[in-house]
Amino acid sequence: MPSTTAVPHPIRSAAELETMRESGRVVALALEAVRAAAVPGVKLRDLDDIARTALHEAGAESSFFGYAPAWAPTAYKGVLCLSPNEVVVHGPPTGRRVSDGDVLSIDFGAAVDGWHGDAAITVHIGSSTEEDRRLVSATEEALAAGIAAAVPGATLLDIATAVDAVAKRHGFAHLPDHGGHGIGRAMHEAPFVPNQPFAAARDQRLEAGHTLAIEPMLLAGSSEYRTARDGWSVVTRDRRRAAHAEHTVAVTDDGPLILTAP
């Protein structure tokens, strides 16, 4: 028997994908509301309130609030992850105010009838430098390339190779040890979806009905990182900036379907 490192990746029915499209739409609308409010001087906590209101109006549940993975010291207290500048991902909403020229990753997850959607954008607060615009647009381009590779018969190595090629072309590093994930009944499911090619990812083949979150995290400086004292925020060691972009995607016979599109 051929050896394989593939892990089970559930196939979703058309009806299940319909429900995931609903949660994805809630995620997209909330992200756009938060983007519009992300102006100089706003408190991260105020942005969290905007997303919480959007969630309640939609009758959806937060995928993040109360989340308590083994690696975290405390259950998560927000509905958004808000990660400014040197914070790469998983920044909790605090009283920190964003300033003109900041970049801010906004990450949001919502569930409808127990089916999750997860997406992230990185926005410029007020004005932006050429270098920051390059970082953010390269991250968006890397996400688009990863999504385009999510077709039946391809493998997770194809996604990682596509994401990585964009990062390399623009000269940006990846956040090591992090990547995307299967998603459905839980926000985080198998398989791990790498942004950097490694051989075993070739064993994880994609089929129609697979759902996954693809999320490049690109760094302007070196790839060294640490976890902040809050136990959540992932911060670059050199304090240089990062960008993050994410969509929840379904693999279909008609090509990749972005479930977290507006």
- The binder of ligand MF3 chosen from 12, 25, 90, 174 (CB under 6 A): 90
76 binds, among Co ion, ligand MF3, none (CB under 5 to 8 A by kind): ligand MF3
Contacts of residues 76-80 at CB distance under 8 Å and 24 or more positions apart, as own/partner, are: 76/232, 78/48, 79/48, 79/51, 79/52, 79/55, 79/108, 80/34, 80/47, 80/48, 80/51, 80/106, 80/107, 80/108
118 binds ligand MF3 (CB under 6 A): yes
Smallest separation, CB 248 to Co ion (Å):
8
How many residues sit close enough to ligand MF3 to count as binding (CB under 6 A)? 10
Smallest separation, CB 168 to ligand MF3 (Å):
23
In this complex, which beta carbon is closest to Co ion, that of residue 118 or of residue 132? Answer: 118
Q: Residues 6 or more apart from 222 whose CB is under 8 A from it? A: 173, 236, 237, 238, 240
158 binds Co ion (CB under 5 A): no
How many residues sit close enough to Co ion to count as binding (CB under 5 A)? 2
- Which residue is associated with the tokens 């926000």? 187
Smallest separation, CB 105 to ligand MF3 (Å):
10
Smallest separation, CB 30 to ligand MF3 (Å):
13
67 binds, among ligand MF3, Co ion, none (CB under 5 to 8 A by kind): ligand MF3
- The binder of ligand MF3 chosen from 132, 158, 164, 215 (CB under 6 A): 215
Q: Residues 6 or more apart from 93 whose CB is under 8 A from it? A: 44, 45, 47, 48, 77, 78, 80, 82
Indicate the SS3 state at residue 217.
strand
- Cα separation, 132 vs 240, whole angstroms: 11
Closest CA to 130 of 217, 220, 41: 220
225 binds ligand MF3 (CB under 6 A): no
90 binds, among Co ion, ligand MF3, none (CB under 5 to 8 A by kind): ligand MF3
Smallest separation, CB 118 to ligand MF3 (Å):
5
Site for Co ion in 205-224 (CB under 5 A): 213
Q: How many CA atoms within 13 Å lie on the side-chain side of 37?
A: 20
189 binds Co ion (CB under 5 A): no
Q: Residues 6 or more apart from 131 whose CB is under 8 A from it? A: 220
Spatial contact of 35 and 125, defined as CB atoms under 8 Å apart? no
- The binder of ligand MF3 chosen from 64, 115, 172, 225 (CB under 6 A): 64
Q: Which residues bind ligand MF3 (CB under 6 A)?
A: 64, 67, 76, 81, 90, 107, 109, 118, 213, 215
